Amino acid sequence: MNVAGHGASVRIESCGKTFADGTRALDPATLDIARGETLVLLGPSGCGKTTMLRIIAGLELPDAGGKVLFDGKDVTSVPIERRNVGMVFQSYALFPNMTVAENIGYGLKIRGVARNERSARVAELVALTNISGLENRRIDQLSGGQRQRVALARAVAIRPGILLLDEPLTALDAALRDRLRSELNRLLRALGITTIYVTHDQAEAMELGDRIVVMRKGAIAQIGTLRDVYFAPKDRFVAEFIGAANIVEAPMEGGDLVLPGGRLPVSGETSVAKAIAMIRPETIRVVEPGRGPLSGIIDTVSFVGDRQRLVVSGASTRPLNVDAPNTIQARAGDRIGLSIAAEAVRVLPSED
Ligand code: ATP
């Protein structure tokens, strides 16, 4: 396969953005993205993800003092068409009057790539993005998922060093989104292009990102690997934005969280008098009543396929979500014990 590009490294340095109307979309941020890495920008609507992506693309200039570097070279004032980036947006932006093959080959044609090389490259990409047989269809004869595959093939046809994706799956229905997400994952690994992927969907971020940048109100809340942001979130916002989290607010005594259902050893900052702690539902183990440090009563049990979700009251200050294997017997009304490793009870910085 020779469709693979050469991923470029990306550095943005003190890149902030205040728009002409005074809206501050992005606080000055510095960020390094390694060659071939997939970095996901994740955060709620309006937090500045697209603005950051557009600055990297060259569609938006950063405020004075900001710099964008590709492979160490300053490209801040280089226009998008000379940055060697491929882009895919939520809306496909394909040429409706061209066929699938013409759309994919468009960038190659305007770059003067010879016809036979062009058709060879298009054929490879058609195979790689699973749209064989559709080459001669017009865009309006395609489904949403097929259009998004064409958009992707077109973006990578020019062998960009950097691929920029802005919510490319958001417009699709849930089942298709799931399927395309894993196809996209495979494609990105095969191509080895440096990829920056904007989404507000944490499942996408978890599947696709080597690292995740969690953004909030124009600022970077946390940068890290999936494990970092999942198990060691910096604050409550990150903890609740990524995955399911029980947030527990309770007094501390001698390194333990003092809860209605027992005392729980914690990790991290233990010297505070009152703590906000995070516990992931899947880190809580159900044990015999009277066994683990906490006890409570099962309120509800819901079967979730590969596991069951229990809601347990009386153990913590609020009902605790617990993910248990679906092989254990659990009924509403049962008294149970709960065991949680200290490492899984993370004290978060206090919010003042
Ligand atoms: P979404 O997930 O909804 O696309 P986002 O995180 O990508 O959101 P941005 O599109 O980067 O957010 O927008 C960040 C902020 O900047 C928002 O408050 C938005 O309204 C504002 N904004 C974006 N473009 C402009 C513009 N051209 N002029 C003024 N304000 C803008």
CATH 3.40.50.2300 matches 10-237: no
pLDDT in tens, 312-339: 999 999 999 999 999 999 999 999 999 9
Question: Is the per-residue pLDDT at 92 higher than 70?
Answer: no
Query: Measured between alpha carbons, how far is 111 from 158 in angstroms, rounded to an integer?
Result: 9
Tell which CATH classification among 3.40.50.11540, 2.40.50.140, 3.40.50.880, 3.30.465.10 matches the domain 246-348.
Answer: 2.40.50.140
CA 291 to ligand 1 centroid distance, Å = 51
Question: Is the per-residue pLDDT at 4 higher than 70?
Answer: no
Q: Is 21 in the pocket of ligand 1 (CB under 6 A)?
A: yes
Give the residue with greater pLDDT, 71 vs 3.
71
Q: Residue 24 CA: which ligand 1 atom is closest?
A: 16
Mutate to test the pocket of ligand 1, among 26, 45, 51, 202 (most ligand atoms within 8 A of CB): 51
Q: Is 19 in the pocket of ligand 1 (CB under 6 A)?
A: yes
Question: Is the per-residue pLDDT at 1 higher than 70?
Answer: no
How much of the chain exceeds pLDDT 70, in percent?
97
pLDDT in tens, 286-303: 999 989 899 999 999 999
Mutate to test the pocket of ligand 1, among 12, 19, 200 (most ligand atoms within 8 A of CB): 19
Give the residue with greater pLDDT, 148 vs 29.
29
Give the ipTM.
0.93
Domain range summary for the chain, segments of one domain joined by +: 10-237, 246-348
Query: Measured between alpha carbons, how far is 226 from 220 in angstroms, rounded to an integer?
Result: 15
Closest listed residue to residue 315, CA positions, set 248, 262, 267, 257 = 262
Which positions ≥6 away from 293 have C-beta within 8 Å?
A: 262, 263, 264, 265, 338, 339, 340
Query: Measured between alpha carbons, how far is 81 from 202 in angstroms, rounded to an integer?
Result: 31
Three-state DSSP class for residue 314: coil
pLDDT in tens, 100-136: 999 999 999 999 999 999 999 999 999 888 899 999 9
Phi/psi at 50 (5° precision) = -65, -40
Contact in structure between 167 and 89 (CB atoms under 8 Å): yes
The pLDDT of residue 3: 46
Q: Is 286 in the pocket of ligand 1 (CB under 6 A)?
A: no
